[in-house]
Structure 1
Amino acid sequence: MKGSITKFFGQALTGQGLKDLYQEIAKEAEEVYFLKGIFGFNASNLLKEIGYFYVNRGFDIEFFYDPLFENTVQATFVKGIGILFLQSSKPSIEPTRLGTRDHVISFYDCLDKGILKKHGQRLKQLSEEAEEWHHQLFDALRSAIEIHDEWERQTRKHMDWKALEEHQEELLDQIFDGMLLNKTGTLTHRLFGTLTPVGARDFLQNITRNLERRYFIKGLPGTGKSTMLKKLAQEALKRGFDVQQVWCGLDARSIDMVILPELKFCIFDSTAPHEYFPAEGRVGDQIVDIAKHCPLTKETEEKIQEIEKEYRGAILHATNYAKLYAEAEKEIRGIVDLATDVSKWKKQSARLFGK
């Protein structure tokens, strides 16, 4: 029987910069294979081949995707045996346990220096363009977060925090129903969405497909959704449950989802840009409405409309810069692929199968 594939983003473009969770994911692994080199898209193809190799042998795997390019994988994690294969030229992670957990596989010798030299001037130009668009992208995202913070300040003024706290306690009782496990809970971390060159994208449907209960939180910005999720995660850990915190793709300080695998349960922020509703006929889907605890005045609603318009403009700017950044990066990676010696690549890649 074949294994399953679960999809996450490996990195997120946030208002606080590029965020990845590879340090945390590596802590879950028994072995980590660091792929070192200057890569084009061939590294993604290799990581997918590795994933399918293990899926066809019955292992569940996780693919971690690049936010810049659709269907481009940065890492593959084989569940059960705990092997992480990671393209480590881009993510901010280096081996820390060489000789035990960590292995380095270098692909630098697979590059044809003559071809790189031939395209050297173009690579230099593209690198400078990419750096400029990268700078503009994160400037726009920082601006978007600042605007969003003002949006949150407007809603907080009208929030009934006591009612929210009572609602949270009722929710915790409903979820756990007094259950305690005789073990220590484990905390893991993932990313399920991010801004991309074609707008906000997420893998929520794939991630939650096998869960029996899905709770959809509906609420305004700044009304305690992320805080409530963090509190729920802490309570679950205290009760001995394993917890997966799934982080926000725009604000690196916030979480958007909590998954409790042992309960086949998740609860998540189901507002834009990842707005979902219960599926027809799916019994375990339920809305958690906390918007009712934040009645706005007409004056505040009008103020928020202006803020939201400004926020959407900043996100549009960021999306456009992400597209330009990706275009430059795409050409760079294409040249690197062209300069890759296929025979050397295949020889080095063969070491990664059947571990």
Structure 2
Amino acid sequence: MKGKVLHYFAGDHTAKGFYTLYDSCFQGIGLVYKLNGTSPAVKSKIMKQLADASQEKGMAVELIHRSSDPEELDGVILPEMKIGLVDSDLYDGAGKDIDTDTAIDTDQLVNQEDEIFGLKEKIENEFSAAHASFATGLHIHDGLEEIYINQMDFAKANQLAVELNDQFFGGITETGRKAVIKHRFFGASTPQGVMDYIENLTEDLDKRYFIKGRAGTGKSTLLKKIAAQAEELGFDIEMYHCGFDPESMDMVVIRELGFCIFDSTDPHEYFPEKDSDEIIDIYEKAVTSGTDENYATAIMELNRSYKSYMKNGIVILQETKRLRDQLEQIYAAATDESKVEALIELLNAEIDSSQED
């Protein structure tokens, strides 16, 4: 039987630049293969094939997708074996270096240095433009939040947090363990639009809580309070950051207790599908009745404006992908696929050997 696969992002192009969480994802992994080299596509191919082989052997696999091209991978984790593979450009931790340029004729690339440099410069400029567009959108979104903040009953919001923590953790004693907290992204801004893997990440959980609300109604604060309680008790936590504003939280998962709670509003709006799913409506519980109607015009204009900047950022990311594809074509022409396959076989043998040990 194939092993279970989890899909998620650990880096994203956000309103605060390119934001990385890779180091957190690899904590506790005993052996990390750091793939060095020129071509991200070669690194991704190696990771994909090793992940597929491990899954076929029944191992659990975590696939860390590249936000600038979700069909490609930036990392793979085999949690049961405590082995990982990652693009070394994204990970600062210790590991075993693997030179993927042994499969590339780098002398051939020397003749195209100017073209390569020009494409890289254009790509960086486009990414910076996307970040700037997202930042403008976030600034406008702050104005939307202000409307609801001014209509919030914070005592009721705090009481809701207390009640939920009692519901989730009431009667549970401390485990005596130190909680392991892993940070990931809830979703990401990609050339295909805003994407997430929420269905995959939550499908095996007994209970899913869907937070409904509005901008500024304390969804992230609520999630942080729940995570703090879980940490105090010693439960391992998965914290999923907002792909728009990475300092905000969109989901908390406590797998040991079989539940998750997440922001289920636009642009990642979900609704209950299972009998055990439950909605928690902060707007209904803690916002002045009639706020949507009383501020309808301002809300509509702010929503329209911030979303226009978000869409513009996505369009720019589409251009970065086009440029990156051009760059990868240059690398592909200099790549010896038989040497790539040899690297894959070598790593596969090492992983098999680790399993036997």
TM-score (norm 2): 0.92
Q: Judge conservation of contact 2:211–2:264 (CA < 8 Å) in 1.
A: yes
Structure 1 stretch displaced more, 50-59 or 248-257: 50-59
Aligned with residue 326 of structure 1, among 321, 324, 335:
321
> Given the alignment of the two structures, is residue 346 of structure 1 paired with residue 341 of structure 2, yes or no?
yes
Structure 1 stretch displaced more, 125-134 or 34-43: 125-134
> Given the alignment of the two structures, is residue 285 of structure 1 paired with residue 277 of structure 2, yes or no?
yes
Letter aligned with residue 52 of structure 1: D
- Secondary structure of 1:268's match? strand
| Alpha-carbon distance in structure 1 between the residues aligned to 2:60 and 2:103 | 30
Aligned with residue 302 of structure 1, among 286, 297, 300:
297
| Alpha-carbon distance in structure 1 between the residues aligned to 2:310 and 2:16 | 14
> Given the alignment of the two structures, is residue 166 of structure 1 paired with residue 166 of structure 2, yes or no?
no
Residues 186-226 of structure 1, C-alpha deviations (whole Å, 9 max, x = no match): 22222231111121110000111111100000011111100
> Given the alignment of the two structures, is residue 132 of structure 1 paired with residue 125 of structure 2, yes or no?
yes
Corresponding position of 1:99? none
- Secondary structure of 2:18's match? strand
| Alpha-carbon distance in structure 2 between the residues aligned to 1:206 and 1:181 | 29
Corresponding position of 2:354? none
| Alpha-carbon distance in structure 2 between the residues aligned to 1:213 and 1:95 | 34
| Alpha-carbon distance in structure 2 between the residues aligned to 1:34 and 1:10 | 16
> Given the alignment of the two structures, is residue 216 of structure 1 paired with residue 210 of structure 2, yes or no?
yes
Q: Judge conservation of contact 1:180–1:240 (CA < 8 Å) in 2.
A: no
The alpha carbon displacement at 1:348 in A equals: 2.9
The alpha carbon displacement at 1:329 in A equals: 0.9
CA 1:65–1:225 in 2, change beyond 3 Å: closer, same or farther?
same
Residues 136-170 of structure 1, C-alpha deviations (whole Å, 9 max, x = no match): 11110111111111211121000011111112211
> Given the alignment of the two structures, is residue 146 of structure 1 paired with residue 139 of structure 2, yes or no?
yes
Letter aligned with residue 336 of structure 1: Y
RMSD, aligned α-carbons: 1.6
- Secondary structure of 2:19's match? strand
Letter aligned with residue 238 of structure 1: E
Q: Judge conservation of contact 1:145–1:251 (CA < 8 Å) in 2.
A: yes
| Alpha-carbon distance in structure 2 between the residues aligned to 1:348 and 1:60 | 22
| Alpha-carbon distance in structure 2 between the residues aligned to 1:130 and 1:70 | 17
Which structure 2 residue ranges, 5 or more long, are not aligned? 352-357
Determine what percentage of the aligned residue pairs are the same residue: 30
- Secondary structure of 1:287's match? strand
Letter aligned with residue 317 of structure 1: N
> Given the alignment of the two structures, is residue 155 of structure 1 paired with residue 148 of structure 2, yes or no?
yes
Q: Judge conservation of contact 1:41–1:334 (CA < 8 Å) in 2.
A: no
Aligned with residue 255 of structure 1, among 249, 252, 256:
249
Q: Judge conservation of contact 1:217–1:268 (CA < 8 Å) in 2.
A: yes
Corresponding position of 1:18? 18
| Alpha-carbon distance in structure 2 between the residues aligned to 1:52 and 1:32 | 18
Letter aligned with residue 278 of structure 2: Q
| Alpha-carbon distance in structure 1 between the residues aligned to 2:280 and 2:73 | 33
- Secondary structure of 1:38's match? coil
Corresponding position of 2:101? 108
Corresponding position of 2:259? 265
Letter aligned with residue 313 of structure 1: S
The alpha carbon displacement at 1:176 in A equals: 2.0
Letter aligned with residue 235 of structure 1: Q
| Alpha-carbon distance in structure 2 between the residues aligned to 1:60 and 1:248 | 26
Corresponding position of 1:45? 45
- Larger relative helix fraction: 2
- Secondary structure of 1:72's match? strand
- Secondary structure of 1:189's match? strand
Q: Judge conservation of contact 2:174–2:232 (CA < 8 Å) in 1.
A: no
TM-score (norm 1): 0.93
| Alpha-carbon distance in structure 1 between the residues aligned to 2:180 and 2:161 | 22
Aligned with residue 238 of structure 1, among 222, 229, 232:
232
Q: Judge conservation of contact 2:109–2:334 (CA < 8 Å) in 1.
A: yes
Corresponding position of 2:29? 29
Residues 65-107 of structure 1, C-alpha deviations (whole Å, 9 max, x = no match): 0112132111000011111100123x1x2344xxxxx211112
